[in-house]
A and B are shown apart, each in its own frame.
Chain A
Amino acid sequence: AQTVTQSQPEMSVQEAETVTLSCTYDTSESDYYLFWYKQPPSRQMILVIRQEAYKQQNATENRFSVNFQKAAKSFSLKISDSQLGDAAMYFCAYRSAMEYGNKLVFGAGTILRVKS
C-alpha cells in the first residue's frame, strides 16, 4: 500500500517570504499522480497544484511550485511571496494510475502560519 509522509506538523513564514513544505511518499508503482491541497479554516479542500509522475518538468501555478524528485520519492511545495491568505493546513496526496476508485492517499498535513 502507498503511504504519504509530511514530516513538518507546523511551519511559519513571514509575509512576502518563501516557504517550502516537505512531502515524501512510498510506492512501488511508476505511474501515479501527486497533489497538494489547501484546507483553510473554512475546512474546504482546495486543489493547489498537481504533478504527473511521467513528467520531469515541475508543475507551477502562479506563486506555487513543486520540486518533484521521482527517484527520491519527494514532492515538496514552494510558496513564494507568502500572503496572509496562504495560512491553512496543506495536504500532500498520492493517486495511483492503476487502481480503481480514484482514491487519494493523504499525508497527515502541515499547518502553515503566515506572520504579518
Chain B
Amino acid sequence: EAQVTQNPRYLITVTGKKLTVTCSQNMNHEYMSWYRQDPGLGLRQIYYSMNVEVTDKGDVPEGYKVSRKEKRNFPLILESPSPNQTSLYFCASSLAGGWIDTQYFGPGTRLTVL
C-alpha cells in the first residue's frame, strides 16, 4: 500500500530535550516536505527536499533541522525544543514538483513541549 508513515504519532517532551520525528514514504517520491499545523494558521511549510541531499527552508524553519540521506526518509529534528513548537506536524511527499503530482500526507505527529 502506497503511504507516508510518521513516528511517533504522539510525543510529550520537555524543553531542551532533543527529539527526532521520522518520516518515510514507499512511493519512490522525489519531493518531501514538513508542515506544522496550528489553530487559526492552517498548515505552514517548515522544510522541503527535492531529492537526496537537497533540502531547503520553507516558511517557518527556525528551531528545526532536516536531513535527506535516503530517498525514502526525511526526518525532522528539534535540537532544543521549546513550548512554541507544540504543534501538529505533517510530512508530505510527491513524485516531483509538477502540478499534477498530488502531495500525499502522513498521519500527523502531535507534539507537546512542556
Residues of chain A touching chain B, judged by Cβ–Cβ distance below 8 Å, are 4, 33, 42-45, 47, 52, 91, 93, 95, 97, 100-104, 106-109
Contact = CB atoms under 8 A, between A and B. Distances in A.
Contacts of A52: 99
A103 B58 contact: yes
Contacts of B33: 101-103
B41 to A, nearest CB: 6
Given A97-B99, A103-B33, A91 B105 contact: no
Contact of A43 (B41, B42, B99, B108): B108
A102 B43 contact: no
Given A43-B88, A100-B56, A101-B48, A106 B99 contact: no
B99 A108 contact: no
B5 to A, nearest CB: 12
Interface of B: 31, 33, 35, 40-45, 48, 50, 56, 58-59, 88, 90, 92, 94, 97, 99, 101-103, 105, 107-108
Contact of B97 (A44, A93, A100, A108): A100
B48 A106 contact: no
Contacts, number: 57
Nearest to B43: A106
B45 A104 contact: yes
B40 A108 contact: yes
Contacts of A44: 105, 107-108
Given A95-B99, A103-B59, 7 more contacts: A42-B107, A43-B107, A45-B92, A47-B103, A102-B94, A102-B97, A104-B43
Contacts of A104: 35, 43, 45, 103
B42 A102 contact: no
A91 B43 CA distance: 9
A107 B41 CA distance: 7
Contacts of B58: 101, 103
A33 B56 contact: no
Nearest to B110: A43
